[in-house]
Structure 1
Amino acid sequence: MKIDITESAREWFENEVGLKKGSGVRFSGKVYGNTEVHEGFSVGMEVGQPSDILAETTINGIIYFIDKHDEWFFSGYDLQVSFDKKRDEPIYHFIEQK
């Protein structure tokens, strides 16, 4: 599993969330909403430090990660995080692993 953060999403996380080198962003599954592959669940995001990492990528000293206990939500997919300029928020895409 891999996590891909687009340049526009990275800029949003750094500027709007105020992340600095050494910060971490955890992606998780949360109840309510929908994704491209889940009914009744959406992607949650919170600032925090990793403890039991399933997947990670580091950009500008900021670690973007998924914990192992969220494997049920991301299993079989890579996560691509892009940015919707109209809505001014990240967009989460699930890319099926081959």
Structure 2
Amino acid sequence: MNIYISEAAKRWFKEEVGLESGDKVRFFSKIYGSSKVQESHSLAFMVDADDDKSVASITEDGVTYYINEADLWFFDGHDLYIEYDEKLDEVAYDYKK
């Protein structure tokens, strides 16, 4: 599994979340919502330095974006693409095999 993040999404994280070099962002499943890969589950994120059980990660501009082993099931063999939705002014996720 791979993680990809667009330049616009990186800017959003820095501006809206206040990320700085050395920070780590964990993506995880939440029970409510919906996604293209899991019905009744969606994706959330939090700033979390505990990436010891990371199974996928990417470091861009000094910030690490990662997924822990416990949440790998959510992606069902898909890669995670993190984009920026200009209309909603928030990050958006896409999943591709």
TM-score if structure 1 supplies the norm length? 0.94
Q: Which amino acid aligns with 2:17?
A: V
- 1:76 matched to 2:65? The reply is no
- 1:46 matched to 2:46? The reply is yes
In the TM superposition, structure 1's runs of 4+ consecutive aligned residues that sit over 4 Å from their partners are none
Tell me how many residue pairs correspond in the alignment: 96
Aligned Cα RMSD in Å? 0.8
1:16-41 CA deviation, whole Å, 9 max, x = no partner? 10000000000011111111121100
Identity in percent: 41
- The separation in 2 between residues aligned to 1:37 and 1:21, in whole angstroms, is 31
- The separation in 2 between residues aligned to 1:37 and 1:55, in whole angstroms, is 17
> Which residue number in structure 1 is paired with residue 60 of structure 2?
59
- 1:34 matched to 2:34? The reply is yes
How far did residue 67 of structure 1 move?
Answer: 0.4
Q: Which amino acid aligns with 2:71?
A: D
1:29-67 CA deviation, whole Å, 9 max, x = no partner? 111111112110000100011121110000010000000
TM-score if structure 2 supplies the norm length? 0.95
Higher strand share: 1
How far did residue 75 of structure 1 move?
Answer: 3.3
**Structure 2 gaps, min length 5:** none
**Structure 1 gaps, min length 5:** none
